[in-house]
Amino acid sequence: MTHLSSHRIARRGRVFPERQLSPEEKAKRRAESEAFAQRCREIFERVKPELIKEHYDWFIVIEPDSGDYFIDPDKTVAKKKADEKHPEAMCLIKCLNETGCCGRI
């Protein structure tokens, strides 16, 4: 009788290596993401002092191209408000507090 080995060889590598991004494309996407975040941060820092007084710990959804923002105590409702006015736009969600973070790590 033949003895079967239980020694498996681990396969390494990506599942779809042909879909790997080039370093230039990764850098381009990272730069676009940073530029988007910076535009949103500017709007957040501008409106935070006046909104934090009355709406502490509410969520704010920021659409940086138009400068619009939407606030609500519920994150999904705030996102729906933004989607109604800007259905195709990418938005950033922050919390109206000192740091802008929406949770705990």
pLDDT in tens, 31-89: 999 999 999 999 999 999 899 889 998 999 999 999 899 999 999 999 999 999 999 99
CA separation for the pair 72, 56 (Å, rounded): 10
pLDDT at 7: 72
Neighbouring residues of 97: CB distance < 8 A, sequence distance ≥ 6: 52, 56, 57
Token pair of 37 as six digits: 């975040």
pLDDT at 10: 66
Contact 40, 62 (CB under 8 A): yes
For 13-17, the CB contacts below 8 A with 24+ separation are none
pTM, entire model? 0.75
Phi, psi of 66, rounded to the nearest 5 degrees: -95, -20
Q: How confident is the model at residue 100 (pLDDT cuts 50, 70, 90)?
A: confident
